[in-house]
A and B are shown apart, each in its own frame.
Chain A
Amino acid sequence: MKTNKNFFAKLFTREYRSRLISFLIIILGYIVIELLMATGNLSSMFQSLLVPVTCYIVAALGLNLNVGVSGELNLGQAGFMCIGAFAGVCISGALAGVISNGIIRLIIAIIIGALLASLFGILIGIPVLKLQGDYLAIVTLAFGEIIKSLINNVYVGFDSNGFQFSFVENKLKLAPGGKALISGPMGATGTQRIATFTVGVILILAALTIIYNLIYSRSGRAIQACRDNRIAAESVGIHVANTKMLAFVVSAALAGAAGALYGLNYTTLIPSKFGFNLSILILVYVVLGGLGNMTGTIISTIVLVLLPELLRGLQDYRMIIYSVILILTMILSNNEKVKTFAAGLRKKLTRNRTKEAAADE
């Protein structure tokens, strides 16, 4: 049974192991949640968190490709989510009369959101990624704020003539039967809630597949090479700006897709939800989960979204405890003693496995 053995050997290579674990976490989590919901054991508070968690995971996975794998700091992930969210809401609202099936509209909204966010990613990336240093962080930080302010001041409506834009409320003249989709600082109102947890989980699995398949390909190796040593990467014929652009745009597209899902989960959505705080929050998920570690990102996102809710009993103290837990985790995960202990544990585990493998033969 040589082929069979090769198959199992392949499963335990570094690539497939991390892929397997992250897929298992998501699928098992999905099954458990669905079971809890079916038996009525999930409180409405947790149910309301399900879709946002999947959105944060997708956006954080994208950001990890940009920050962890490509090594460029991006502080505007919320800005890309914002674009995706409001694009998704507009598309869904516009198509409401044409396509009655919510799932199909949701998928179209997610795709449009991703495309629009990646378009903005390309526009930002062209000038910035040619430079070396922290320029991307500065520009994306500003970008997130600009997008938020822009949507805060735009009025979008849809009628028989198509989309109508205005920066002054009363100038939005809609034909009869038309409806306002975004009304400035009030945000999007009257949105049909078509986002579902299942679509969110599928989006996570798609994001994981895209990221893993990209990392273990020609482009993924180039992305990591540019992170490790820009000069050496150029010396072996890798175009650094294009390579970094790819990671940045995929990251933006995933944020856009996540934003569209997020936007269609609420009947009202205000642009100030996508502020600098959200960008930093997503960055915290990524850094705490480990740069370049997709499984870690998933776990840290879930834990950090649930933690404030679980600490709700502590009332006013919950954010203090939350931050203390965060700081302790950061310190401990960087502690040499803890690290050596973890490394020793891992060694022991792998030794046991190789022993078992040897015993099997």
Chain B
Amino acid sequence: MSENKIPVLEVIDLGIDFGGLTAVNDFNLKVYNNEIVGLIGPNGAGKTTVFNMLTKVYQPSRGTIKFCGQDTARMSVVEMNKAGIARTFQNIRLFSNMSVIDNVKIGMNNQITYNNVEAVLRLPKYREQEAKVTEEAMELLRIFGLDKDADLIAGNLPYGAQRRLEIARAMATKPKLLLLDEPAAGMNPQETADLMDMIRFVRDHFHIAILLIEHDMKLVMGICERISVLNYGMLLAEGTPAEIQANPQVIKAYLGE
């Protein structure tokens, strides 16, 4: 990756304390456009905490998060999404009582400009924008292979489809950076292989950067261009998949002495 470009995401000396416990410290990361970066580490290393800081679910105690060159210190969860960061969750968080297509439409809420009066009176602006949103949502569902299930209740979808729907919903917000928290958790090898193709396709089709947390090493080594390893809240190593695989410290962290 060319180092002279502005990174989509630049994290400098990020840290957070919970009471007296330092969960993450001195964490640094750069993610460039069109890049797939992996964040790995043993259980409890602080990977999801990093995601929660990047999306401002937790306010970091120290350090800077720059998004597209801009400091995000004062931004809230909602503002981070509006700026262009979308995410999925480790334990799926869909709107499980709503239909599949409505889940995706919610992602587009901030692209809709009609107000409540226009909605209640069903004015032309409402009709036009609803038609457009429905069309775009169907297009997204088609990309993620969910178009046939558009009217099903999201909570009734099979597990793998729920994971895909979560990514579709995140993509509906038109992000510049997509954060995937263990997208392959609970998937069988075939589903994982399909997921790898899908993640690559999402990157190429939407031209976005992807940062993902994953325990499935086959997936991480297969699709990530760069990998950062987190251990006890500290950055242990970073590099290409080959470098990480050969790094003695990483092997020690995963396998012990």
Contact = CB atoms under 8 A, between A and B. Distances in A.
A225 B116 contact: no
A214 interface: yes
Nearest to A206: B120
Contact of B77 (A217, A222, A225, A235): A235
B96 A235 contact: no
Most buried by A among B87, B98, B106, B121: B106
Contacts of B86: 235-236
A246 B78 contact: no
Interface string A209-247: 110011001111110110111011111111100000010
A232 to B, nearest CB: 4
B80 to A, nearest CB: 9
Contact of A237 (B81, B95, B98): B81
B236 interface: no
A224 B110 CA distance: 16
Contacts of A236: 81, 86, 106-107, 109, 169-170, 172-173
Given A218-B109, A222-B109, A234 B77 contact: yes
Nearest to A292: B97
Nearest to A231: B93
Interface in B39-96: 55, 57, 77-78, 81-82, 86-87, 89, 93-96
A153 to B, nearest CB: 36
Given A221-B98, A222-B106, A234 B78 contact: yes
A228 B106 CA distance: 12
A18 to B, nearest CB: 14
A52 B234 CA distance: 66
Nearest to A220: B119
A94 B119 CA distance: 34
A217 B109 contact: no
Contact of B109 (A221, A232, A246): A221
Interface string A72-115: 00000000000000000000000000000000000000000000
Nearest to A210: B120
Contact of A238 (B87, B106, B122): B106
Interface in B100-143: 102, 105-107, 109-110, 112, 114, 116, 119-122, 126, 130
B78 A239 contact: yes
A225 B151 CA distance: 16
Contact of B81 (A209, A219, A224, A235): A235
A217 B119 contact: yes
B85 to A, nearest CB: 9
Given A217-B126, A228-B95, A238 B119 contact: no
A218 B120 contact: no
Given A228-B97, A229-B95, A221 B106 contact: yes
A239 B151 CA distance: 25
Contacts of A225: 95, 98, 106
A235 B87 contact: yes
Interface string B2-46: 000000000000000000000000000000000000000000000
A218 B119 contact: yes
Contacts of B102: 221, 224
Most buried by B among A218, A232, A233, A234: A218
A356 B132 CA distance: 32
Nearest to B120: A213
B105 A213 contact: no
B109 A213 contact: no
A218 B95 CA distance: 15
Contacts of B96: 228-229
Contacts of B110: 237
B78 A238 contact: yes
B78 A218 contact: no
Nearest to B179: A235
Interface string A117-129: 0000000000000
A213 B120 CA distance: 5
A225 B107 CA distance: 10
A238 B109 contact: yes
Interface in A194-217: 209-210, 213-214, 217
A312 to B, nearest CB: 40
B112 A218 contact: yes
A214 B119 contact: yes
Contacts of A227: 97
A224 B99 CA distance: 11
B231 to A, nearest CB: 27
Minimum-distance CB pairs A-B, first 7: A217-B119, A237-B81, A232-B93, A228-B95, A234-B77, A218-B112, A213-B120
Given A217-B116, A234-B81, A246-B116, 19 more contacts: A213-B119, A214-B116, A217-B120, A217-B126, A218-B109, A218-B112, A221-B106, A222-B106, A224-B102, A225-B106, A227-B97, A229-B94, A231-B93, A235-B77, A235-B81, A236-B106, A236-B109, A236-B172, A237-B110
Interface of A: 14, 209-210, 213-214, 217-222, 224-225, 227-229, 231-239, 246
7 contacts: A218-B119, A224-B97, A228-B96, A232-B94, A235-B87, A237-B110, A237-B173
